[in-house]
Amino acid sequence: MRIAFLTAPEGVEQVELTEPWKAAKDAGHETVLVSTESGEIQAFDHLDKADRFPVDAVVGEASPDSFDALVLPGGVANPDFLRTDEKAVAFVGAFFTQGRPVAAICHAPWTLVEADVVRGRVLTSWPSLRTDIRNAGGIWVDEQVKICDHGPNKLITSRKPDDLKAFCEAFLDVLTEKAG
């Protein structure tokens, strides 16, 4: 399967990008780094700059139709930037319209809120997003990982980097089920 990893040019929490990326690659999936700008993205380890990663495709030029699933890594700045970019929000919304799996961790559900896709869904996130998710019609739970199949697609969410193992396992299980 071909999986899009959507990030802003800077602000993505590195481990929330690299761990799911590695898990997907190790499972035989094709991973594609999609961003709002070409070139490279700047990842962070909390507030400190970490590594840079090359962008494979630019949102707005990349078609959601060419991907089987979407991963939204967190970091505070990353989803905050993405939710202000109309093309990024439309890209995310297309995965829900088309019934494709979406996985989001930590602060990444901010982009889901902006795409207006959390209404009626049960999800988790970094605790500070609880009110935003509830105000957008979602049901927030404090769980390590939550798989919600309300609607045409499955949404996999986790709270924080400590949940990455469970997050990756749940996402890969959903992909295996989809390929089934």
pLDDT at 154 over 80: yes
* Amino acid, res. 138: G
Neighbours of 110 (CB within 10 A): 26
Q: What is the pLDDT of residues 111-146, one digit of tens each?
A: 999 999 999 999 999 999 999 999 999 999 999 999
Q: Catalogue the active-site residues.
A: 106-107
Q: What is the pLDDT of residues 10-51, one digit of tens each?
A: 999 999 999 999 999 999 999 999 999 999 999 999 999 999
Please give the structure tokens belonging to residue 49. 């700059």
pLDDT at 76 over 80: yes
How many degrees, rounded to 5, is the angle at CA 44 between CA 129 and CA 141?
A: 20
DSSP secondary structure of 2-60:
EEEEEE-SEEEEHHHHHHHHHHHHHTT-EEEEEESSSSEEEEEETTEEEEEEE--EEBT
Neighbours of 111 (CB within 10 A): 28
Rounded distance between C-alpha atoms, residue 50 and residue 48, angstroms: 6
Q: How far is CA 81 from CA 40, 93, 164, in A?
A: 16, 16, 22
Q: Percent helix, strand, coil in the chain (nearest 5)? A: 40, 30, 35
Q: What is the pLDDT of residues 89-115, one digit of tens each?
A: 999 999 999 999 999 999 999 999 999
Question: Options 3.40.50.300, 3.40.50.880, 3.20.20.450, 2.102.10.10; which CATH number does 2-179 get?
Answer: 3.40.50.880
Give the rounded percent of residues in the chain with a pLDDT score beyond 70. Answer: 100
φ, ψ of residue 95 in degrees (nearest 5): -65, -35
Rounded distance between C-alpha atoms, residue 69 and residue 108, angstroms: 15
DSSP secondary structure of 153-169:
S-EEEESSGGGHHHHHH
Rounded distance between C-alpha atoms, residue 39 and residue 67, angstroms: 21
pLDDT at 151 over 90: no
Q: What is the pLDDT of residue 178?
A: 82
pLDDT at 180 over 90: no
Three-state secondary-structure class, residue 137:
coil
Please give the structure tokens belonging to residue 174. 């959903």
**pTM of the predicted model as reported, rounded to 2 decimal places:** 0.97
